[in-house]
Amino acid sequence: MARLRSVTQAADELCVTPSAVSHRVKQLEQILGVRLFGRADFSLTTDGSAYLAHVREGLGALQRFPGQATATGRRRLKLAVTPTFARTILIPRLRQFTEAYPEIDLALQVSIPLLDVVAEDADLMIRFGTGDLSVVTEASCPCGRTSPRMLGWRGRTDEVTKVRGMFVHPRQADEVAARFPAVARWQAVVTRKEHEDGLAFHVELVAGTRPEQVVPGMVEAIREVMKLRGEVEVVPPGTIPASAKKIDDRRKWE
């Protein structure tokens, strides 16, 4: 964002959606308590420029670490990590690691997956796994390419799914439903119509409960917890099986 000054171009480089970039920027600004970008042209604010300088300094220090040749009898561990993992998980624990394993020199390589396409010379690589499943084929492509290629999305390893660029977790659905004791059974259903994702909670209500007692509040809870617009559909008792998945992704990708 700071370099490109465009949400769309930043999203293209990171292989994510523009809404995901906007959400992360807003989330970071909330954590820091300052405005990082001007909303008109996405130029850095004074606070944004100061924060960028600190980030660059930190990443530079990580790439230089440990900064000296490995001493005799010591072992060197080369670790490739993503910037976010390095900043939020690894850096706060570096001192603890070096105290526990003083014989190991840890060399860090910070890079962005998919953007930094050169294979890293590292002993270990830590990458963010979305849980998406795909298939690699060596069959010829109709366009004429003969190199191996991916056939696209084929499912997930869990119930976590992505709706309009946002990850939706079963625990979030649990939190929404837990606010409404009058909901006897529920299921979050993801659909796709005319190239747009849809999210709806199908709910069975406790006997004697009127839909207007639950639906408006649940719609607001979906927005608050999942950060998405969603609908609530009341279904007859017995519609949702006891063994139903918490999140049912019914989208088709043929």
Q: What CATH number has the domain bearing residue 105?
A: 3.40.190.10
CA–CA distance, 15 with 30 (Å, rounded to integer) = 24
Do both 69 and 82 map to the same domain?
yes
Exposed, middle or buried by CB within 10 Å (0-12, 13-18, 19+), for 23?
A: middle
Greater model confidence, 128 or 34: 34
Question: Which of 11, 36, 63 finishes a domain?
Answer: 63
Instruction: Tell whether 80 and 90 lie within a shared domain.
Output: yes
209 and 245 together in one domain: yes
CATH code, domain carrying 194: 3.30.300.30
103 and 167 assigned to the same domain: no
Same domain flag for 74 and 113: yes
pTM confidence score: 0.46
User: For the chain, what is the mean pLDDT?
Assistant: 83
Q: Determine the 3-state secondary structure of 115 from DSSP.
A: coil
Calculate mean pLDDT across residues 66-84: 70
Same domain (yes/no): 137, 108: no
Would you say residue 174 lies in a domain?
yes
Specify if 150 maps to a domain. yes
Residue 223 has pLDDT above 80, yes or no: yes
Which range is most confident: 94-103, 207-216, 243-252?
207-216
- Look up residue 51 and give its two tokens: 């924060």
The answer as to whether 146 is a domain residue is: yes
My answer on whether 27 and 40 are in the same domain is yes
Confidence class for position 206, pLDDT limits 50, 70, 90 = very high
Range of the structural domain that residue 239 is part of:
161-249
Nearest to 234 by CA among 198, 171, 185: 185
Q: What is the pLDDT of residues 84-126, one digit of tens each?
A: 888 888 888 888 988 898 888 888 888 766 544 444 578 888 8
Rounded CA-CA distance 108/90 in Å is: 10
- Residue 43 placed within a domain: yes
In a domain, 226, yes or no: yes
Structural domain contains residue 34 = yes
Tell me: do 105 and 117 sit in the same domain.
yes
d(CA 67, CA 161): 41
| Overall domain count for the chain | 4
Residue 196 is assigned to a structural domain of this protein: yes
**97 or 154: whose pLDDT is higher?**
97
Is residue 254, in this structure, part of any structural domain at all? no
Q: What is the CATH number of the domain that holds 34?
A: 1.10.10.10
